A and B are shown apart, each in its own frame.
Chain A
Amino acid sequence: MIGGLLALIIGRVAYLIVGTGNYTLAFFVGALLSALQLGSLYALIALGYTMVYGIIRLINFAHGEVFMVGAFTSFFLFANTPYSLPWALFAAALAAAGLMYAVNLWRGKLQDPVVLGAGALGFVGFTLALSAASLNWIAAMLLAMLITGVVGITLDRVAYRPLRGAPRISLLITAIAMSFFLQNFGLLAFTRNQTPYRPATSWTQFLQFPLAGNTVFTSRMVILIPLVTLVLVVALTLFVNRTRLGKAMRASAQDPEVAQMMGINVNRVIATTFFLGSTLAAAAGVLWGLNFGSLNQPAIFGLLPGLKAFAAAVIGGIGSLPGAVIGGLLLGFLENFVPAMFAGTTEFKDTFAFFLLIVILLIRPSGIIGEDLSEKV
């Protein structure tokens, strides 16, 4: 079956290139580049799914909404300067509490009001400094990543941690509830501030270069997105493979109960996982906004990208980091090349991910490079 599909695709490509002559090399290179862009974004989101699933076997349905929160937070950070005083105070209190919680989490028992005060002061100073000048988008991205990471930790603490021993179905229903909560909360909090996403950066400018007699049209984002993704994925891999916490993470993914017996604070490990996954999702959100130039309405913004990224994680093999990247890239290529090769399939673009998901689940449920997760008796 797979051989037949491959033959069909290769034959179609050959026919398009040789037979019709409509499809030039430049066209293919352009499609390849945009596939790389989209695939990298999916990969970044899929990493969050795969990490969380690897440890607590939960499909974090709300991860797409975390991506939405990241995108809108960064938008809010650079579009709303200078902040009004109530907003600055509110945000400072929120950020300080989040910072205290995060520090508390990583350094053990540290109920330290000094951290709280330092966080509040830092954020107030930061907002005041920002009021003077418009925010650089890289700073906005980093700050949005931090805030979204704290949102991810909170999500785990509020919704998932009370249900650690519960059946997985209740966890899944809770995740759906959180997804709905975040969607509508985003609608409530962000919808009035919705404007095109155009920070002052030259990365969004067009880029064109000649290739084999034709011109490839693309934008500079085609360099930025894979670059940022590469950096983040390498950093994440180093974190998981080289640090103590990463080791604890791998141990918890193997067997949470035994890891707990060996003295690993599994709750802290899970919180770290949520933090890292949400951070990556926020980065994807910022890049998504830069790439497409505007943000969708919050209620639907995270839905389709989130689900497609989940499909990518399953396709690559859920629970494995390289699997998520491979799945994301594969999905990006699929969405760009199938409409280009087969006329009239453009409007079915959004369904490819689900079709591929179902096919992969039926043929090889553990994904392309995933381990076998079949249920034990």
Chain B
Amino acid sequence: MSRAPSPAVRADVLATSALSGRKRLRDALLTLVGLALLALLIAFIDAEGTTRFKQACALFAIWGVAAISLNLINGTTGILSLGHHGFMLVGGYTTALLTLPEIRRQQIAESARSQMNDFTLGLSLNNGLRALGLEALTTPETLWIRFLIALFIGGLVAALFGLLVGIPSLRLRGDYLAIVTFGFGEIIRLLASTSLLGPFTNGSLGYTGVPAQIGRSLWWTFGFLALTVFVMTKFKTSSYGRALQGIREDEIAAEAMGVNLAYHKVLAFALSAFFAGVAGGLYTSWLSGARLDYFLFTLTFFFLVAISVGGTGSYTGVLLGTALVVFVRQYGDPLEQVYPLTTWFAAAGVLVLLAAAGALVLRSRRRLRPRVPPLVLVVGAVGLAALLFALVAPSFGLLQGSFQAFGMRAILLALLLLTIMIFRPEGIMGRAEFSWAWLLREHRDRPSDEERAQDAWLTNPELNPDRTAALRNLREPDPQAERRDDQKGAR
């Protein structure tokens, strides 16, 4: 099933080609100013923000790294991968183990000893970890170096797993591949809970004590986010990135154009897994511990929501979506508290009424068939009835008691994802990226001043006497007209 490239993609291509030197300079300056403003904002939040808000921002940066890395597979390459929590788990545990003091690591291995024989214990990687020489870096001044090295190694180990998962992607497509990546993620999680890996993971109990000064610091986390965005945007416009986009649009055509499918797909998986591993390391540092239930499928679901809502393939959109998900998650507590039943009924009634009213307005203003189906009225009546019932019930002694809606946040996110998928499958941003030209309302698919001047020269008979010849060279043959001629001939 092939799709024509969206107008956004074409506009993007034109935008890069029609960039004059002056505008390039202006964009670079604007970018610098923007980055400086962002740095000021981060400094302000770091100094003035509440702990809760700072935590939300750090989580945004960490999940942003993960969501952007997932976007490389799901958005740019067009492969649905659902095993990202597995990569994060690998990177997270590796980083956590490498930053833990050796004594603590020894304790974890000891607590697993009861289930293990000496042979398995002898295989323990503790000696190998010691050989890395990271134990020298334990003072607070040098710990960050150790953390960076650990993050890098964690990313590399996750990338190895990415290679492993990428290999089935060469033979499988679509839904099968999605389920296999999911299976890999779950296998990693289930294996980590077994006693085989007990010395490293401490079973499903996990452990605490991972140094948190990088994971919770806004500068570090936003630094990693900036690094990821930089690498990924560069990658997207490189020849590799364009090959991946070609794979997304049409695999068979891309292969016919000389794209090595196997190499590029596995490369996408490995790079994505690397950044997912880094995000996992940051995540364990942020939570100052590693536990199996930090890495449930829920994580991948959240990233999927972020990507789909923001725009599949657009890094700006992914960051928007991540911000939405993180803030719903962090500030959604009021949704899950205990309220009287009447409040719930009234809220449900109001929501249903609002939905019905929205449908009424949208349906009656439609250009084609502006007709209100009776179902909308029925739904509205049900909402009104619920609202009235909630108002009247207490005086009859009904609806007494209260109710706590566990899981309301996830329900909201799921409904949001559903709505986006039905009404705007490409997400808020589509495949468009943020650009200064867009912000300044410049349309780059229109001719620039330079091109206009050229056209004027070409069409000016005094300056250019042979203009018909020049124009003939300029003007491309109209494919529509040709097709029309063909059809006439066929008839």
Contact among B171, B182, B407 with A362 in the assembled complex (CB-CB below 8 Å):
B171
Contact among B175, B301, B405, B422 with A59 in the assembled complex (CB-CB below 8 Å):
B175
Q: Is the CB of B418 within 8 A of A188?
A: no
Contact (A86, B399) CB under 8 Å given A184-B414, A354-B183: yes
Q: Is the CB of B187 within 8 A of A355?
A: yes
Q: A371 an interface residue at 8 Å Cβ cutoff?
A: no
| CB < 8 Å A-B pair total | 127
Q: Is the CB of B407 within 8 A of A188?
A: yes
Q: B340 an interface residue at 8 Å Cβ cutoff?
A: no
Q: How many angstroms between the C-alpha atoms of A310 and B183 in the bound complex?
A: 11
Contact among B82, B171, B408 with A365 in the assembled complex (CB-CB below 8 Å):
B171
Q: How many angstroms between the C-alpha atoms of A281 and B178 in the bound complex?
A: 23
B contact residues around A168 at 8 Å (CB): 174-175
Contact (A173, B304) CB under 8 Å given A178-B414, A180-B410: yes
A contact residues around B191 at 8 Å (CB): 348, 351
Contact among B173, B195, B422 with A162 in the assembled complex (CB-CB below 8 Å):
B422
A contact residues around B407 at 8 Å (CB): 183-185, 187-188, 299
B contact residues around A162 at 8 Å (CB): 422
Interface size range on B against A: 35 or more
Contact among A169, A177, A184, A187 with B418 in the assembled complex (CB-CB below 8 Å):
A177
Contact (A350, B80) CB under 8 Å given A173-B421, A180-B413: no
Q: How far is the CB of A215 from chain B (nearest CB, A)?
A: 31
Q: A172 an interface residue at 8 Å Cβ cutoff?
A: yes
Q: Is the CB of B193 within 8 A of A347?
A: yes
B contact residues around A169 at 8 Å (CB): 78, 80, 174
Closest Cβ neighbor of A174 among chain B residues: B421
Q: How far is the CB of A289 from chain B (nearest CB, A)?
A: 21
Bitwise interface map of A from 45 to 75 toward B, beta carbon under 8 Å scored 1, else 0: 0000000000001110000000000000000
Q: How many angstroms between the C-alpha atoms of A181 and B305 in the bound complex?
A: 13
B contact residues around A178 at 8 Å (CB): 414, 418
B contact residues around A299 at 8 Å (CB): 407
Q: How many angstroms between the C-alpha atoms of A375 and B193 in the bound complex?
A: 37
Tell me the B151-179 residues at the A interface (CB within 8 Å). Answer: 168, 171-176, 178-179
Contact (A358, B421) CB under 8 Å given A180-B414, A181-B411, A351-B191: no
Q: A314 an interface residue at 8 Å Cβ cutoff?
A: yes
Q: Is the CB of B194 within 8 A of A187?
A: no
Closest Cβ neighbor of A111 among chain B residues: B374
Q: B43 an interface residue at 8 Å Cβ cutoff?
A: no
Tell me the A159-212 residues at the B interface (CB within 8 Å). Answer: 159, 162-163, 166-170, 172-174, 176-178, 180-181, 183-185, 187-188, 191
Q: B221 an interface residue at 8 Å Cβ cutoff?
A: no
Q: Is the CB of B171 within 8 A of A357?
A: no
Q: How many angstroms between the C-alpha atoms of A358 and B179 in the bound complex?
A: 9
Q: How many angstroms between the C-alpha atoms of A369 and B387 in the bound complex?
A: 55
A contact residues around B422 at 8 Å (CB): 159, 162-163, 174
Interface of A is mostly: helix
Q: Is the CB of B176 within 8 A of A361?
A: yes
Q: A147 an interface residue at 8 Å Cβ cutoff?
A: no
Q: A99 an interface residue at 8 Å Cβ cutoff?
A: no
B contact residues around A187 at 8 Å (CB): 406-407
Q: Is the CB of A361 within 8 A of B172?
A: yes
Contact (A351, B190) CB under 8 Å given A185-B407, A187-B407, A188-B407: yes
Q: Is the CB of A86 within 8 A of B183?
A: no
Closest Cβ neighbor of B413 among chain A residues: A180
Q: B415 an interface residue at 8 Å Cβ cutoff?
A: yes
Q: How many angstroms between the C-alpha atoms of A362 and B184 in the bound complex?
A: 14
Closest Cβ neighbor of A161 among chain B residues: B422
Q: How many angstroms between the C-alpha atoms of A227 and B171 in the bound complex?
A: 39
Q: Is the CB of A176 within 8 A of B301?
A: yes
A contact residues around B195 at 8 Å (CB): 347
Contact (A347, B252) CB under 8 Å given A86-B399, A181-B414, A355-B187: no
Q: How far is the CB of B428 from chain A (nearest CB, A)?
A: 15
Q: How many angstroms between the C-alpha atoms of A146 and B211 in the bound complex?
A: 54
Closest Cβ neighbor of B194 among chain A residues: A347
Q: How many angstroms between the C-alpha atoms of A167 and B173 in the bound complex?
A: 13
A contact residues around B172 at 8 Å (CB): 361, 365
Tell me the A237-270 residues at the B interface (CB within 8 Å). Answer: none
10 other contacts beyond A177-B421, A361-B168, with CB at 8 A cut-off? Answer: A59-B179, A163-B421, A173-B308, A174-B422, A180-B417, A181-B410, A181-B415, A184-B407, A303-B297, A351-B186
24 A/B residue pairs, CB under 8 Å, sorted by A: A59-B175, A59-B178, A163-B422, A163-B425, A167-B1, A168-B174, A169-B80, A172-B175, A177-B305, A177-B414, A177-B415, A180-B413, A184-B406, A184-B408, A184-B410, A187-B407, A188-B407, A347-B193, A348-B194, A351-B190, A354-B186, A354-B187, A358-B180, A377-B252
Shortest 3 CB-CB contacts between residues of A and residues of B: A184-B407, A354-B183, A181-B414
